[in-house]
Structure 1
Amino acid sequence: MKDRRKVRAGLAAAVALCAVAAAPGTSLADGAAGARAYETRGTRIDGAEGEPGAPSLAAGRTYVDSIGPGEKRYYGVTLDTKSAAYVSAVAAPRPGAEVASYRDGVKVTLESPDGAICGTASPKVETSGVAYPLADYASRQTDSGPASCHQAGRYAVTVERQDGSPDPERWPVELRLMVEPPVKGGATGAAPEGSSSTPPPEPPEGTAWPRSGGRGFTDAPTLGTGVWSDEITPGETHFYRVPVDWGQRLSAVAEMSADGKDQSTRLLDRALSMHAYNPARGLAKRGTPAAQDGESPRTQVTTAPVAYGNRYANTGSTVRAMSFSGGYFLAVTLNPPQVAPHLNTSVPVVLRVRVAGAARGGPSYDKDPVESGFGLTAADRRAAKRHPDAAADDDRMEGPGSGIADSKAALRVVGYAGIGTGTALVLGLGVWTYAARRRASSQRYGPPSGW
Structure 2
Amino acid sequence: MRHLRTAAVTVGACALATGMTTLVAPAAGAITPEITNKLEIVLDASGSMADPAGDGTTKIVAARKALTTMVDGMDERTQVGMRVYGATAPPGKDTPQACSDSQQVVPVKKLDRPALKSAIHRYAPKGQTPTAYALQQAAKDLGDSGTRSIVLVSDGESTCSPDPCDTAKDLAAKGVNLRVDVIGFKVGKKARSQLRCVAAATNGKYFPASDTTGLTSALETVKTRATQSFSVAGKPVTGTRSSSDAPNIGAGHWTDTVPADGQTAKYYRLHHSMPGSSFLIGATSRPKVENSQLQLSVSTPDGTSCGSASPTAFGFAKSSRDLLTGVLSTAPRYDSSTCDSADLILKVEQSDWGKDAAGTPMQLDVVETPAPTNAEILKRDAPVSGTWPGLPVQQSRGTSAGGSGLADADRLEPGTTTVELLPGEYKFFKVSAGWGQQVQAIATAEQNPAYASKTSFRRLSTDILSPAGGVATDLFPKGMPKGDSGTLSHSDLLDDEGGRVAAVTAPIRMANRASYSNHLVASSVAGDYYVVVGLSALANGSDTVRTPLKIDLQVATPGTAGSDAPEFAPGQMVKSSAGVALGADGTPKGSNVADQKSAGDRSGEDETSKADRTAEAEKSAKSAKTEAAAVPEVESAEGTDWTLIGGVAGGAGALAILGAGAALALRRRG
- Within 2, Cα distance between the matches of 1:386 and 1:39? 21
1:332 aligns with 2:533: yes
Cα pair 1:269 1:298 within 8 Å, conserved: no
**TM-score under structure 2 length normalisation:** 0.47
- Can you list the C-alpha shifts for 1:245-273, whole angstroms capped at 9, x where unaligned? 12211111234322499861795352x33
State yes or no: 1:202 paired with 2:391. Answer: yes
Does residue 46 (structure 1) correspond to residue 246 (structure 2)? The answer is no
Counterpart-to-counterpart distance in 2, 1:263 and 1:379: 43
How far does the alpha carbon of each residue in 1:291-336 deviate from its partner, in whole angstroms, 9 at most, with x for none? Answer: 675332343211111223333456x222232222211112333333
Query: What is the rounded CA distance, in whole Å, between the counterparts of 1:77 and 1:53 in structure 2?
Result: 12
User: Does structure 1 retain, via aligned residues, the 8 Å contact 2:458–2:537?
Assistant: no
Distance 2:553 2:600 in 1: 17
Please, what is the CA RMSD of the aligned residues?
A: 3.8
Q: What is residue 276 of structure 1 aligned with on the other side?
A: 464
- 1:251-270 correspondence to structure 2 within 5 Å: 251-259=440-448, 264=453, 267-268=456-457, 270=459
Is contact 1:249-1:303 (8 Å) kept?
A: yes
Say which SS state the counterpart of residue 328 (structure 2) adopts: strand
**SS of equivalent residue, structure 2 residue 279:** strand
Q: 1:247 to 1:145 in 2, by over 3 A?
A: same
Q: How does 1:33-432 map to 2 (within 5 A)?
A: 33-34=223-224, 35-70=227-262, 71-79=264-272, 80-94=274-288, 97=289, 99-100=290-291, 104-126=292-314, 129-141=319-331, 143-145=332-334, 147=336, 149-163=338-352, 165-166=354-355, 170-191=359-380, 196-202=385-391, 204=393, 207=396, 209-259=398-448, 264=453, 267-268=456-457, 270=459, 272-285=460-473, 288-290=490-492, 293-313=495-515, 316-338=517-539, 341-344=543-546, 347-361=549-563, 362-366=565-569, 367-369=572-574, 373=578, 375=582, 376-379=587-590
Unaligned ranges ≥5, structure 2: 1-209, 476-488, 607-670
Cα 1:232/1:129, change in 2 over 3 Å: same
Could you say if the C-alpha distance between residues 57 and 236 of structure 1 is closer, same or farther in structure 2, counting changes exceeding 3 Å? farther
Contact 2:382 2:507 in 1 (8 A): no
Structure 1 residues 184 and 169, CA gap change in structure 2 (3 angstroms)? closer
Q: Is the alpha carbon distance of 1:341 and 1:388 closer, same or farther for their aligned partners in structure 2, counting shifts above 3 Å?
A: closer
Cα displacement (A) at 1:340: 5.1
Aligned CA distance change for structure 1 residues 260 and 33 (closer, same or farther; 3 Å): closer
Structure 1 unmatched runs, 5+? 1-23, 391-398, 403-451
How far residue 67 of structure 1 moved from its aligned partner, in angstroms, is 2.7
Deviation at 1:139, TM superposition (A): 1.0
Structure-1 separation of matches of 2:427 and 2:452: 28
Q: Structure 2 vs 1, CA of residues 75 and 369 (structure 1 numbering), >3 Å: closer, same or farther?
A: closer
Shift of 1:54: 1.6
When residues 385 and 322 of structure 1 are mapped into structure 2, their CA distance, relative to the original with a 3 A threshold, is: farther
Residues 55, 197 of structure 1: alpha-carbon distance in 2 compared, 3 angstrom cutoff: same
Tell me the CA shift for residue 148 of structure 1: 5.5
* Separation of aligned partners in 2, 1:274 and 1:387: 19
Rate the CA distance shift 1:64–1:237 in 2: closer, same or farther, 3 A.
farther
**1:16 corresponding residue in structure 2:** none
Matched to 2:566, the amino acid is P
Give a deviation string over 1:218-238, Cα, whole Å, max 9, x none: 322221211123344544443
Deviates more, 1:197-206 or 1:32-41: 197-206
Bigger Cα Rg: 2
After TM superposition, the score normalised by the length of structure 1 is 0.68
CA gap of 1:166–1:346, structure 2 versus 1, over 3 A, is farther
> 2: distance between equivalents of 1:347 and 1:32?
20
The answer to whether the Cα contact below 8 Å between 2:251 and 2:366 also exists between their aligned partners in 1 is yes
Q: How far, CA to CA, are the matches of 1:146 and 1:224 in structure 2? A: 40
Partner of 2:99: none
Q: How many angstroms apart in 1 are the aligned matches of 2:543 and 2:604? A: 38
Q: What is the Cα deviation at residue 163 of structure 1?
A: 4.4
Q: Using the TM superposition, give the Cα deviation of residue 131 of structure 1 relative to its aligned residue in structure 2, in angstroms.
A: 3.7
Alpha-carbon spacing, 1:305–1:334, altered in 2? closer, same or farther (3 Å) = same
- Partner Cα separation in structure 1 for residue 253 and residue 599 of structure 2: 33
Instruction: Tell me whether 298-307 or 84-93 shows the greater mean CA deviation.
Output: 298-307
Is the Cα–Cα contact under 8 Å of residues 203 and 354 in structure 1 kept in the other structure? no
Which of structures 1 and 2 has the larger relative contact order (alpha carbons within 8 angstroms, sep 6+)? 1
Q: Is the 8 A contact 2:314 2:321 kept in 1?
A: no
Could you tell me how far apart the structure 2 residues matched to 1:229 and 1:306 are? 27
* Deviation readout 1:11-58 (Å, 9 max, x if unpaired): xxxxxxxxxxxxx96333543523522122222222112212222212
- Following the alignment from structure 1 to structure 2, what is the Cα–Cα distance between the partners of residues 208 and 241? 14
Using the TM superposition, give the Cα deviation of residue 209 of structure 1 relative to its aligned residue in structure 2, in angstroms: 1.7
Q: Using the TM superposition, give the Cα deviation of residue 140 of structure 1 relative to its aligned residue in structure 2, in angstroms.
A: 1.0
SS for the counterpart of 1:52 is: helix
CA contact (8 A) 2:382 2:512 kept: no
- Shift in Å at residue 184 of structure 1? 2.3
Aligned residue pairs total 360
**How much identity, in percent, do the aligned residues show?**
23
Name the CA shift for 1:348/1:159 in 2 (closer, same or farther; >3 Å): farther
Secondary structure in structure 2 of the residue aligned to 1:64: strand
Contact 1:231 1:348 (C-alpha < 8 Å) held by counterparts? yes
Could you list the per-position Cα deviations for residues 129-158 of structure 1 after superposition, in whole angstroms to 9, with x for gaps in the alignment?
Answer: 4242211121111x5347354332221111
Moved more, 67-76 or 259-268: 259-268
